[in-house]
Structure 1
């Protein structure tokens, strides 16, 4: 059963991970939504992150799970961005991908069954 996550980027300009190669590059709600959706649907972000580890062969392949049907909608709300995510992936993987993309510049606002 999919889960719906409500995420806020309080200061979109600060929603950047520690590694510029892995973090968000977008400035607007639609761009953030597209980048997160791709990070959930494909293994590209995981593969780039894994290749940067000291021993890529020791990385748990389960961290690279994907959800080809994941959907992310972005809404600009005053000065912050709201992302609504629907995915079958466990919350631990969503959090890991958000940490890579946005660092500490995001907030999980609510979770509900989709």
Structure 2
């Protein structure tokens, strides 16, 4: 897989939460969010908990459980929003799924470049 650099913006990290509190991020700062997202991409724990909560866990697309043990995530506050830099070989479908579990639709992909 090709390694990609995702540039993501979060308008209000303090209010960014996923729809289901069982999987939603519940932190306050950019460093804590970066660590939470990093763990969600490097390990399959969040995916497995979500999968187990589905009506038919065996019907869940297994490719959504992909992980990247080398994923790198940094986040910082800039001009009243949070900028997240993500370097991973995971496809956008997996990145999008993990972000939606953690912070719902509170994020925007600003740019995507080959790393």
Q: TM-score range by the shorter chain?
A: over 0.9
In the alignment of these two chains, the number of paired residues is 114
Aligned mates of 1:20, 1:77 — CA distance in 2: 27
Q: Unaligned stretches of 5+ in structure 2?
A: none
Aligned mates of 1:71, 1:97 — CA distance in 2: 14
Q: Unaligned stretches of 5+ in structure 1?
A: none
Match of 2:51 in 1: 50
Give the TM-score normalised by structure 2: 0.94
Q: Cα RMSD over matched residues?
A: 0.9
Consecutive aligned runs of 4 or more in structure 1 exceeding 3 Å deviation:
none
Aligned mates of 1:26, 1:94 — CA distance in 2: 19
SS of equivalent residue, structure 2 residue 34:
helix
Alignment of 1:78-89 (within 5 A): 78-89=79-90
Shift of 1:113: 1.1
Shift of 1:78: 3.5
